[in-house]
Amino acid sequence: MSTYVYAISASSHPALPDGMGGVGDPPQPVRILKEGDLAAIVSDAPEELRPKRRDLLAHQNVLAKAGRAGCALPMRFGSVAPNDATVTDVLAERTEHYQERLRALDGKIEYNIKASHVEEAVLHRVMAQSPELRALADASRMAGGGSFDDKIRLGDMLAAAVKAQEAEDAAEVPRLLAPVTHAVSVGPASTGWLVNVSFLVDGDSAGQFLAAVERARTSLPHLELRVNGPLPPFCFVEPTGTTASAGAE
Amino acid sequence: MTVVPQQTGGGASSLYDVLELVVDRGLVIDAFVQVSLVGIEILEIDVRVAVASVDTYLRFAEACNRLDLEAGPRKSPGLPDMVGEITESGARGKSKGALSGASQTVSDAFKQARDERSGDEAEAEPRPRKPTAARRKEEQE
């Protein structure tokens, strides 16, 4: 029977989600594998594991429960080991590395922010910034909307301005929020949002972070900011890669 | 305050917004096998392609012609209050344009791909709507 792995934590974690329902139908009960100072949160892997809603949610729920009472390093969805022994072998081999990560992430949570433009508001903004666009829009309006070609020309310029504004906003959001966080991880930029950034935040200063988000909402009213969190530190489990210290520009 | 404020819509409704974190981030260990995510790759569609289309140009031009420039930032360019006011007056809710519209398309495509793979699953809304309304209410308070 292969083993589905949810997370790695310290074996001293005060409330491991032992017995909770995990992935699969019926849900496989969550078990804890301990190896020295480390523990793996696992369950039997279902025969046919697919990225279905139910299993994605089960994965997330186990991570949320594990992260509530202590630090846990979240595995990517769908991590399956051939058996329990492989899991404990990995824990034994890389004890030092995982302990370092657990120490580094102790008491910290991830917030993910996604933003998209509010169309009317962003058009207003780009017009406000460009006399050329305003002149063109005025001419178009006087001509009762203008010809097809006029509209295309105006629309083309507006689209270019909006795109430039996107790039500006993509940089501005992390700039506004980074000072109250430990680390910033910029996610894939082009999948339904113009900003997709995760922040590593001290659990104790989450209120401060959310206040900064509210200020950003006020100063960037043409953006719809969506906040998700607290999340397990998905983007910060490895020390290298896309993460960067907030202070180091 | 001892409880960390929860910002997600909770459970299923927020899944879409964090999906790429669950399936694309997190710890990966070489000794383990990673389940194939066929059907989820569709999330990688570049929505900004949609911005560079004739349809978008026309829609932007039309939207621009409807904007009330006299009341808007022309007289005082860049005045944030003015933009803010327009946003508050409902643009947030009703102008689902190129960007969020494309996001809708992506989530629809995703939903469709998933439905094809697992017809037995009841799918929830692709994106949480409620938090926006709740947020607006908070702002008024």
pLDDT of residue B20: 79
Task: Write the pLDDT tens digit of every residue in A142-194.
Answer: 888 778 888 888 999 999 999 899 999 999 999 999 999 999 998 876 557 88
**One domain for residues A34 and A128:** no
**One domain for residues A152 and A71:** no
**One domain for residues A113 and A99:** no
pLDDT of residue A51: 76
Residue of chain B minimizing CA distance to A142: B65
pLDDT of residue B132: 41
pLDDT of residue B68: 63
CB atoms within 10 A of CB B108: 11
Half-sphere exposure at residue B139, Cβ-oriented, CA atoms within 13 angstroms? 18
| Chain A residues 126-145 with CB within 8 Å of chain B | 127-129, 134, 137-138, 140-141, 145
Cα separation, A27 vs A55, in Å, equals 9
**One domain for residues A102 and A113:** no
Q: How many domains does chain A have?
A: 2
pLDDT of residue A191: 53
**One domain for residues A10 and A38:** yes
Asked if residue A236 lies in contact with residue A141, where contact means CB atoms within 8 angstroms, the answer is no
Average pLDDT over residues A121-150: 88
Last residue of a domain, one of A47, A75, A106: A106
Mean pLDDT, 10 residues at a time, over chain B (141 residues)? 46 63 88 74 43 75 73 41 39 38 41 44 39 44 42
Distance from CA of B44 to the nearest CA of A (A): 6
Cα separation, A221 vs A81, in Å, equals 47
Q: Do the Cβ atoms of A81 and B32 come within 8 Å? A: yes
Task: Write the pLDDT tens digit of every residue in A61-118.
Answer: 999 999 988 999 999 999 999 999 999 999 999 999 999 999 999 999 999 999 989 8
**One domain for residues A64 and A29:** yes
pLDDT of residue A202: 95
Looking at B3-129, which runs of residues are DSSP E strands? Answer: 33-34
pLDDT of residue B23: 83
A83 burial via Cβ count (<10 Å: 0-12, 13-18, 19+): exposed
- ipTM (interface predicted TM): 0.81
Cα separation, B41 vs B29, in Å, equals 21
pLDDT of residue B65: 78
**One domain for residues A99 and A115:** no
Q: Which of the two residues, A53 and A183, has the higher pLDDT score?
A: A183
- Provide DSSP, A99-112: HHHHHHHTTEEEEE
Last residue of a domain, one of A87, A106, A125: A106
Last residue of a domain, one of A76, A106, A136: A106
Residue of chain A minimizing CA distance to B102: A192
**One domain for residues A223 and A163:** yes
**One domain for residues A241 and A172:** yes
Task: Write the pLDDT tens digit of every residue in A184-212.
Answer: 998 876 557 888 899 999 999 999 999 99
Domain that holds residue A73: 3-106
Distance from CA of A190 to the nearest CA of B (A): 5
Average pLDDT over residues A43-48: 91
**One domain for residues A41 and A164:** no
Cα separation, A18 vs B106, in Å, equals 37
For an interface test with A, give the residue of B15, B28, B33, B35 to mutate (most A CBs within 10 A). Answer: B35
Cα separation, B62 vs A50, in Å, equals 44
Q: Do the Cβ atoms of B92 and A224 come within 8 Å? A: yes
pLDDT of residue B4: 52
